Amino acid sequence: MALLTGKKACVLGVANRWSIATAIAKALHAHGASLILTYEGDRTRGDVEKLAQELGDAPTTVADVASDDSIAALGSFVEQRFGKLDTLVHSLAFARREELAGKYFATSRSGFSLALDISAYSLVALCARLQPLFAERASVMDMTYLGSVRAVRNYNVMGVAKAALESSVRYLAEDLGELGGVRVNAISAGPIKTASARAVGDFSKILSDVAAKAPLRRNAVAEDVAGAAVFLASDLSSAVTGQVLYVDAGYNILGIV
């Protein structure tokens, strides 16, 4: 059964075929949603446009979330193509590779600011621009990770950025809920093999530890996250907002591991 027929979604964060955002875009399309896909720049444009062709020639546009002008242009593009927006998927984050290894206290001032800007503030800026375009009972979602609430070795400043992102989800849920019933939630995915994940030191060890200890004795995969995204985009989650939905094979429930 198609859960998203007639819905219009904008997905940010597609980088390549391994991206969580790619799996989400495919799942939304499979359930009947019309899509806009964004790319950061020339480096990812080819992969995004190839995916767009696979998904019914979905329109694509550049979106540099570090630029207010680029976010404003994205809003104009969405308004021109869709008029109203039912779903916004924020599946992007960034920290310099050198900030994702070693001691957290060695984080540079510029690296801290950059990680928080791209990984957390960008959601706030996007909602500010797109809020007038959100349809009644629209759904906003972003991607987070357990490192927001636990000290995960080498995750460092990204964990702090994800904590800020999760807090932003709650504040945005309060603000936007009274403006047409817009819902805002986060999906906390377990460790998944993506290009960005490889920047985290000892990532392969994190994968093996979670697979060995999680209640389901496996790692989540991108398609698991995509299923949760379909739920949050659909009317099945009409009373769910301000929440962090864990999709990690149950690893987050464990005590001392």
The residues that are catalytic are: 145, 155
For residues 147 and 131, what is the distance between their CA atoms, to the nearest angstrom? 29
* Longest CA pairwise span in the chain (Å): 51
Q: Angle 103-109-115 (CA atoms, 0-180°, nearest 5)? A: 80
